[in-house]
Amino acid sequence: MDYLIEVRNIVKRFGGLVAVNDVSMGVGRGEVVAVLGDNGAGKSTLIKVISGVYAPEEGTILFEGKPVRIASPMDALSLGIETIYQDLALAENLNVYSNIFLGREKTRKAAGIFPVLDHEYMHREAAKVLDGLVIKIPSLRSKIKSLSGGQRQAVAISRSIYWNAKILIMDEPTAALGVAQQSQVLELVNTLKARGIGIILISHTMFDVFKVADRIVVMRRGRKVAEKIRTETTPDEIVSYIVGAEAV
C-alpha cells in the first residue's frame, strides 16, 4: 500500500525507559488510522515523533515514499503534517479568522506604504474553509472564548486544512465534548477523509474509533501489539489487545 507517511522501526527512549519500541506504521491518502492504547502505552510519544517534537533514537520516517528528517515542529508543518493537540492552541481573545491565520496573517499596503492587516481577505478565506465543514460557526468575527468545544475544534481543524495539511494528527479530539458535539467532530473527520487527508487519530473512546477509523493500531508498553482493519475486528478484540489478554 502507498503510504503518505510511514514510520519504520521507531525507537524512542527516555533515560532507562523505552517509550516507543520498534514501531512501524503508516497512513495512506484519505485514510483514518486510529492509535489506541492504555495510558503510558507510548502512543503520544509516537505521535510527537511524527510531529517533530521528539527526535527518535532509531528508525526512519518516509514521506510520500522518500526518507525525511523531521527535526522540529516547523519541519513537520512544512511537510504538511499538522497536529491538533488537546488544548487546541487557540488564542481565546482573538476571533475565528485571526486564529486560522495566526502567525501567517495576510497584510495589504495601506496608502501604498504601510502594511496593515487585511481583515476582509482573511475573513473571506476563512469562510471558504469553514463552509466546507459540518460544524457551523455563527460569525467568523466571534471570539474563540464565546465558541463551544466542537466549534473550537472546527477552528483548529480549519487552520490545519487551510494551510494544506496532508496529514492531520488529532489527539483525543472528542475528549471534553458533549455527545452531540462528539458526533459532529467525527463527521468532520469523515469530511476531511473524503478530501484525501491522511488522519492519525488518538482516542480512548472505542465508539469513536469504530465509527471513523479504517485501520486500528494498538500499542502496549511501547510496542505495537496489533494492527487490524476495522471491518475485520470487534471492539472486544481490540480491548483485549489493549489490556494485553490476547497478546500472551
Partner 1 sequence: MSDRQAARPRTGRLVSFVGRRWALLFLVAEAIAFCFIARGFFTLDTFQLVFIAGVPLFLLGLAETFVIISGGIDLSVGFVFGFASVVSAKLIVALQGAGASPGLAILIGCAATLLIGMIPGYFNGVLVARLRVPPFIATYSMLSVTYGISELLVEGSQAGNLPYLSSVIGTGFIAYFIPGHGFSFFTHERVARGTPVYSIIPLVVVAAFVFVAIFVFLLRMTKFGHHTYAIGGNPDAAVRSGIDVKAHLERVYVISALLATLAGILYMLQFSQGKSDAGASYLLDSIVAVVIGGASLYGGVGTAGGTIIGALLLSVLETGLRVLGVATFNIYIIVGIILIIAVLIDQFFPEITSSESGASP
**Binding residues for partner 1 (CB under 8 A):** 73-74, 77, 87, 89-95, 98-99, 102-105, 107, 110, 114-117, 138-139, 141-143, 145-151, 181
Nearer to partner 1, 44 or 95 (CB): 95
In whole angstroms, how close is the CB of 158 to partner 1 at the nearest point? 14
Contact 100, 159 (CB under 8 A): yes
Contacts of 86 (CB under 8 A, 6+ apart): 171, 172, 175, 176
Question: The sheet that has 215-220: what strands, in order across it?
Answer: 81-84, 167-171, 198-202, 32-37, 215-220, 223-229
Beta carbon nearer to partner 1, 57 or 145:
145
Tell me the angle at which helices 179-194 and 149-162 cross, rounded to the nearest 10 degrees. 10
Considering the complex, state which of residue 163 and residue 210 has its C-beta at the smaller distance from partner 1.
Answer: 163
> Is the CB of 49 or the CB of 219 nearer to partner 1?
49
CB 62 within 8 A of CB 148: no
Provide, rounded to whole angstroms, the least separation between the CB of residue 178 and partner 1.
9
> Smallest distance, Å, CB 55 to partner 1?
18
Q: How far apart are CA 163 and CA 223, in angstroms?
A: 33
- Residue 73's CB is within 10 A of a number of other CB atoms, namely 15
Nearer to partner 1, 139 or 190 (CB): 139
* Spatial contact of 25 and 33, defined as CB atoms under 8 Å apart: yes
Q: Is the distance from CB of 162 to CB of 126 less than 8 angstroms?
A: yes
Q: In this complex, which beta carbon is closest to partner 1, that of residue 102 or of residue 194?
A: 102
What's the min distance (Å) between Cβ of 95 and partner 1?
Answer: 7
